Chains A and B, each alone.
Chain A
Amino acid sequence: MKVAVVVFPGTNCEQDVVHALRALGGTAELVWHGDADLAGADGVVLPGGFAHGDYLRTGAIARFSPVMTAVDRLAAAGRPVLGICNGFQVLCEAGLLPGALVANRDLRFICRPVHVRVESTASILTAAATVGDVLRLPLNSYEGNYTASAAMLGELAATDRVVLRYCDPCGAVTEEANVNGSLDAIAGVANAAGNVAGLMPHPERASDEILGSTDGVVVLESFLIALRLAAVR
């Protein structure tokens, strides 16, 4: 059971993700964006960074990288596909996830721990968590402000696909806690099948005591569990 962690030019969180997945017992390997296949991987993570310099729009160029054809195929086969931060932006641009990520409300780069509340456990992102759980995860982005059409927002809510919302430490979703101004305070969403998901905060940076939080472990565990379940299906 292998996870491919894709490296685009400008990706900078790939080693963190590989390290965190291996620490949880997973098998993870880096795959270059120019490769046409995912080296036999059963699941894929698109990690954070600045793919192709974030030129044009975040993720706009990356979605046409050769490897994305293989990511599409894996997603269509029901295998887990996880986008973290820039990877989330790439999945939205690729149309594998709905909506888009635009500049933060206050036009400032945000680099600090935030709290997110688990809203759904129906996807690979939080299957091992409990609805209402509050996770403290580092956020590190300028274009983290989630947006979608009103129709899509309604569909997401009606189909239990809003996975994470920004909240205060007690789990209350407030305007102040919604640090980047995301629509409906959305920090993470999933596709209709639940096997493709993305989030702006970094679970891999909260996966070891030495990092100050282990709240990200449940996210990575959920992904690894989905990986095993999808493979035996």
Chain B
Amino acid sequence: MRVVVSITRKDGLSDPEGATTAKALRQLGYPVGEVHFGRTITLEVDAADAAAARAAATDMCTRLLANPVIEDFTVFVSEGEAVR
């Protein structure tokens, strides 16, 4: 089962890349507030169902993929079709 994990910088932590990009977007006329960079990790998880895949990915994030001091994470599980 394909699982996509999105890892983002915690609010309040400085994100110079995001701040600079936000400024550029505003200069182009887009009504953009804060912009945050993060990373996505795509995992092929061997799991019986979506709930099990979600639980496994959440555990992976907690132990290794994300650092709770500086990052938040969100888990997206595909229910059949691949997550794009």
Contacts and interface: CB of A to CB of B under 8 A. Distances in A.
A147 B64 contact: no
Contacts of A64: 64
Contacts of B17: 107
Given A102-B13, A105-B16, A60 B64 contact: yes
B65 A100 contact: no
Given A56-B64, A64-B64, A99 B16 contact: no
Nearest to B9: A102
Contacts of A102: 13, 70
Interface of B: 13-14, 16-17, 64-65, 67, 69-70
- The secondary structure that dominates the B interface is loop
B69 A100 contact: yes
Contacts of A147: 13, 69-70
Contacts, number: 28
13 contacts: A57-B67, A60-B64, A92-B69, A93-B67, A98-B69, A99-B69, A102-B13, A105-B14, A105-B16, A107-B16, A145-B14, A148-B69, A149-B69
Contacts of B69: 92, 98-100, 147-149
A181 interface: yes
Given A100-B70, A103-B16, A105-B16, 14 more contacts: A56-B64, A56-B65, A57-B67, A60-B67, A92-B69, A93-B67, A99-B69, A100-B67, A100-B69, A102-B70, A105-B14, A106-B16, A107-B16, A147-B69
A99 B69 CA distance: 6
B23 to A, nearest CB: 15
A64 B70 CA distance: 19
B67 A181 contact: no
A106 B20 CA distance: 11
